[in-house]
Each structure stands twice: as structure tokens, then as C-alpha cells.
Structure 1
Amino acid sequence: MSREERIVIDYFIKNLSVGEILAVKELRLLHRLEDPTRIIDTLIRKGLLEKGAGCISLSRRVRDIISKRDKL
């Protein structure tokens, strides 16, 4: 996983589900990512993020892994 992909995953771990426009703006401005849309699309193809109606969130699989990890 690239450094940029890790930044995006960490962002969605903290924010679980975010409107698409807001996520792109925050990742660009706060985290200084040049092309957050490309990174988000890559993570969606990898099954780590899901795209809903105007929002992006962690995939169910990732949420389950985090939930199990937190229970340990």
C-alpha cells in the first residue's frame, strides 16, 4: 500500500463515511494529496472503500477487521 493510500484509509477509519465532495476537498487541503479522487478509485477497486449515493465509506470487510482487532 502506498503512502497516499494509507493516508486515505486512515482518513476513512477516522471518518467512516463521508460525502464524496467533502472527502476530496479535505484530502486535498488538509492532507496535501494532489489527486485524492484517483487514490479513492484505486481503493474502491481493491475493495477497501465503497461508494454509495454521494458518499464514500470503508468497506464492510475493512470495518469487520477493525472491529475484531478492537475486541482483542
Structure 2
Amino acid sequence: MEFRLDMIEDKVEFFEAYDLRTLERKVDEQIMNNKALLLQVGSVQHHAAFDPNAGKMLYSAVVHFKVKSRS
């Protein structure tokens, strides 16, 4: 049996919330968690759409984490 550890080089995570403060908190929390995996933010995309079922705006973000450059 072979035991092998591979380093995560890319990771994409999705977040959503009904207010920007909560969305920002979720993203910031995950940024801190991914620092332990030696990942940094590569790019962020964010969107807002009206949720007719809830009657309010729904904010979402996609964050691409990539391995920290060794410079």
C-alpha cells in the first residue's frame, strides 16, 4: 500500500448570503483557513440577484484559490 501526499494547487469555492457583511465574513474566514494549506486568492467574482422567494437580494461570490508563489 502506497501512502502519498499531494499538494493542493488550485481550489474554487462558492459562497452566498443575503447581505454583503455576511458574505464578506464567509469569504474572509475561508481565506484564513486556506492560508494553512498554503493557498492564496487568485481571483474573485461576485454577483447579486433578486431572490423572489425570499423577497430580497442574494449575493454570491466565487473565489479561486491557488498555491502561494515561492518568490
The answer, yes or no, to whether TM exceeds 0.5 is no
**TM-score, normalising length: structure 1:** 0.29
Higher share of residues assigned helix: 1
Greater relative CO, 1 or 2 (CA 8 Å, sep 6+) = 2
Question: Given the two structures, how large is their TM-score scaled by the length of structure 2?
Answer: 0.29
Higher normalized strand content (fraction of residues): 2
Whose radius of gyration is greater, 1 or 2?
2
